[in-house]
Chains A and B, each alone.
Chain A
């Protein structure tokens, strides 16, 4: 039941405020509760109404706890210096399950950092309570190193989820690999029930993944490791082989293999729910992209019929050659840079499960034909976004008519739509709105 203070209660508490200041330590000790489950103070709430002396100080524990849950850490810390009771509540493990360490340097970030004293206090006093831990670091190597230093002290822990997040440039990549890996393995070895690990853009390597598997294979459900250049296809295969509860995986295309898909499709393995694949190239022509066999994709879909397969492409146009030559069960496609007309044509032919499509850029030729084919063949398509492309207004109307109300998101930059003899921009707005059954406008950018 949601807790709220009505006007009367609020006034009572305000009146009680001065009394709280004269609150004596002995009273606090008398009423101290040692249990950590919130249930024990149930009586408090009835007493609250009847108590002859309502003060801030003897608000029932569970009420204070409840209030504290709505406060930021800083506010909790301030409140904890009001009186001993509140200070006790401040340290209740429930409030320390989840923590986000923020590590930034004044020279590289506008953001503040978690105070070093607080970090020390957490390591000393609350490390064993931590379950959901994340680190946010700025672009400075020192920040990433500080994160590693904290990680290596999380010995007495039962962490369930761990996230290493770079808020600007990925600075974990600048930490020495051995330092990073040894810090990470401390958590892998000590917290034996990790279920979720986000370590994108880090120097994690095959041996550390082995440690992860050895200690957490029963519990691991999510692993995100896009752009981790020190992991090999064999390294990730080992995870897939052993961690049968894995439901969500994010990696780069070069780690994707037929073996990996087959491992994820084994009988022992739970249904995979999300597979995210980043396809990134450095320079044109320098990366050769392999192909995945249709039989491997088929095996995955037989095993996990509902799986979302999300692919982000950041390739040069000429590098799309190996993709979507055969039927591919991809559901979400994002093209971060120009994609060839040819490729979009193949998507219409070979991606029957497609749900969302984003084309950030394309050449100057209108994409009418390709879009209409996609509308025709991709029956699950519900969202589309078009950036620097061109579509004639008539072609676009045809596309919208074919998809109709199932298009829940339709984000088209205004410049994309080329007026023709049939429709101008104003007409497009009303026609599309009619077919979607809701008011629709193309996306605009300011003419500035």
Chain B
């Protein structure tokens, strides 16, 4: 029987460690490598030019590599559901292979294609390689729910066998066995499109520092591993001003597009570590960044609303402000805080920023200063950030906005001090905001505090040449801490987010039975967990301990004797506690979290 294979590239834009592609080649008579791209979608989608360029470069690289194997890449214009029936017939396809996509949208799309393939009598072969582990397996090992803390996740990974070993790259011999006739007009029909064809105007002065493609990825990997000192000492690289600039050994965009296999990266790190340190297996922390990625993929795989606040069971509902004007200032780097503006400029120009820089701007937009929804920030990153993956992007934004994953400790990054600490020289600012280049170091992170004479000497007057700060950070962080407290205190049995000096160590057992008139007059009223605005009780009781959500169940706990009331552990959470939580979905997430801790 004739086997005509199609390998469908989506992510995983590489020939090395590509099991699905190997399956396509296995015993096949012909193989065609396909990428499906909708030029109309390209123009309308919320994806910026840098990300498109990276993708097209990766496709070019793939095509170049395939040419060396006497094959070509087929870039097919259209939508998968329209394209495949046509291809199946035209090419007489009998086997379709692709890499597993764990994200909800991808799973839905793939299920439809698999069904369609069945109808056409096409066998489908799917292999998981975008992540080290199968997210479903981790979920299964965590009692069928995704781990919601990184520690928990690590504990599970520790119990798992090592990721599968990577496969070698496709060889000429393999490809020769399933040569496909390439028509003369291949480029016309199936060539990699240009940015112009996708409707982007490209400027000649393109600054782009991240060149897409597998070839570049493997070169970078080698350079990355050359920094042996780092791996040998096994220390977190200490962040310095230099870390903020794009590094020639940075790999995250290549992992995102699958130009580099995460398993290849993993095993290279591991082997190097073991070679340099002839001792037991390397600690998990060696693979920090890879594991974070896995963590978010696992959290998102069964949650179609992972990128939304509403309807997302692990996301705390926070009354974010809706303020398009402020959002635009942030997104366009016009906040008046050089540290924030430089980062956003770098992001827009180059498509990559350091993870601490991501923390800084994400905190500023959400809980730290502007109190704008993380969803808005996530969308901007989706447009601009080369390595933005749906799961990792949404998950990180939830984390940094204190919306999920239960960050324990509430503190705001200072948009002045954090930058100064990271890069006291201010060179980073000067590179991305040249207007400020003549400011002395002392004022470069807070130009509005520079005396007029200094501003004049630097040829940049704040309020004229560079914006005034859009917000008073001291005042806004004071307010935002209060707001976060409001939110978290409504989740009555929640103790995760520690605000510390807000005296949040709620000790409900300290509350004595109420005896004054308000209680006596109506035994069924009001004093559910504490009087509405006052915890007039033991000295250790915090001032801000009201935990009820007023409209839901004013009298919920009156049937429980006061003496029984205490900080309820999740395992013994009586239903009355649950009723006090306004958003049941939140309660679920929080309980999960606490289970995690046990």
Q: Decide if A7 is an interface residue (CB 8 Å cutoff).
A: no
B501 near A110 (CB under 8 angstroms)?
A: no
Would you give the shortest CB distance from A323 to chain B, in whole angstroms? 15
Q: Decide if A139 is an interface residue (CB 8 Å cutoff).
A: yes
B475 near A282 (CB under 8 angstroms)?
A: yes
Question: Known contacts A165-B486, A168-B483, A201-B479: does B414 contact A337 (CB below 8 Å)?
Answer: yes
Interface of B is mostly: loop
Q: Decide if B547 is an interface residue (CB 8 Å cutoff).
A: no
- In the complex, what residues of B have CB within 8 A of residue A284's CB? 449
B553 near A71 (CB under 8 angstroms)?
A: yes
How far is A22 from B498 in the complex, measured between Cα atoms in Å?
Answer: 54
- In the complex, what residues of A have CB within 8 A of residue B194's CB? none
B477 near A338 (CB under 8 angstroms)?
A: no
- In the complex, what residues of A have CB within 8 A of residue B151's CB? 441
- How many A-B pairs fall under 8 Å by CB? 275
Would you give the shortest CB distance from A72 to chain B, in whole angstroms? 5
Q: Decide if B85 is an interface residue (CB 8 Å cutoff).
A: no
The tally of residues in B whose CB lies under 8 Å from a CB in A reads 89
B285 near A425 (CB under 8 angstroms)?
A: yes
Q: Which of A197, A201, A384, A447 contacts B288 (CB 8 A)?
A: A447
Would you give the shortest CB distance from A75 to chain B, in whole angstroms? 9
Q: Which of A98, A280, A283 contacts B554 (CB 8 A)?
A: A98
How far is A181 from B556 in the complex, measured between Cα atoms in Å?
Answer: 35
Question: Known contacts A110-B309, A111-B319: does B555 contact A94 (CB below 8 Å)?
Answer: yes
How far is A70 from B407 in the complex, measured between Cα atoms in Å?
Answer: 30
How far is A132 from B528 in the complex, measured between Cα atoms in Å?
Answer: 12
Would you give the shortest CB distance from B195 to chain A, in whole angstroms? 27
A 328-339 to B, binary, CB cutoff 8 A, 1 in contact else 0: 000011101110
Q: Decide if B172 is an interface residue (CB 8 Å cutoff).
A: no
Q: Decide if A73 is an interface residue (CB 8 Å cutoff).
A: yes
- In the complex, what residues of A have CB within 8 A of residue B309's CB? 110
A196 near B505 (CB under 8 angstroms)?
A: no
Q: Which of B322, B392, B424, B500 contacts A109 (CB 8 A)?
A: B322
B478 near A168 (CB under 8 angstroms)?
A: no
B472 near A282 (CB under 8 angstroms)?
A: yes
A196 near B320 (CB under 8 angstroms)?
A: no
Question: Known contacts A69-B553, A196-B532, A221-B536: does B321 contact A139 (CB below 8 Å)?
Answer: yes
B395, B413, B449, B550: which has the most chain A beta carbons within 10 Å?
Answer: B550
A301-335, CB < 8 A from B: 306-308, 310-312, 314-315, 332-334
B473 near A72 (CB under 8 angstroms)?
A: no
Q: Which of A4, A162, A273, A448 contacts B396 (CB 8 A)?
A: A448
How far is A410 from B355 in the complex, measured between Cα atoms in Å?
Answer: 24
B369-411, CB < 8 A from A: 371, 373, 392, 395-396, 399-400, 407-409, 411
Would you give the shortest CB distance from B216 to chain A, in whole angstroms? 22
A2 near B421 (CB under 8 angstroms)?
A: no
How far is A415 from B239 in the complex, measured between Cα atoms in Å?
Answer: 9
How far is A201 from B33 in the complex, measured between Cα atoms in Å?
Answer: 62
B426-455, CB < 8 A from A: 449
Question: Known contacts A2-B560, A100-B550, A132-B526: does B543 contact A387 (CB below 8 Å)?
Answer: no
Q: Decide if B328 is an interface residue (CB 8 Å cutoff).
A: no
- In the complex, what residues of A have CB within 8 A of residue B576's CB? 2, 70
- In the complex, what residues of A have CB within 8 A of residue B475's CB? 227, 280, 282, 314
- In the complex, what residues of B have CB within 8 A of residue A2's CB? 559-560, 574-576
Question: Known contacts A167-B486, A168-B321: does B523 contact A132 (CB below 8 Å)?
Answer: no
- In the complex, what residues of A have CB within 8 A of residue B414's CB? 337-338, 360-361, 388
A167 near B319 (CB under 8 angstroms)?
A: yes
How far is A411 from B497 in the complex, measured between Cα atoms in Å?
Answer: 10
Other A-B pairs, 7, CB within 8 Å; known A110-B309, A358-B500: A69-B556, A100-B550, A167-B483, A308-B539, A426-B285, A446-B395, A448-B355
Residues of B participating in the A interface, judged by any CB pair closer than 8 Å: 150-151, 235-236, 239, 283, 285, 288-289, 292, 295-296, 309-310, 319-323, 355, 358-359, 371, 373, 392, 395-396, 399-400, 407-409, 411-414, 417-418, 421, 424, 449, 472-475, 477-479, 481-483, 486, 498, 500-503, 505, 518, 522-526, 531-534, 536, 539, 542-543, 548-556, 558-560, 574-576, 579, 582
- Closest A-B pairs by Cβ, 7 of them: A334-B501, A196-B533, A411-B409, A306-B539, A168-B321, A314-B474, A100-B550
Residues of A participating in the B interface, judged by any CB pair closer than 8 Å: 1-4, 37-38, 65-66, 69-73, 94-95, 97-100, 104, 107-111, 131-132, 134, 136, 138-139, 160-163, 165-170, 195-198, 200-201, 221-222, 226-227, 247-248, 250, 273-274, 276, 278, 280-284, 306-308, 310-312, 314-315, 332-334, 336-338, 356-358, 360-361, 363-364, 383-385, 387-388, 408-409, 411-413, 415, 419, 424-426, 441, 443-448
Q: Can you identify 5 A-B contacts, CB atoms within 8 angstroms?
A: A98-B526, A134-B550, A169-B479, A284-B449, A385-B411
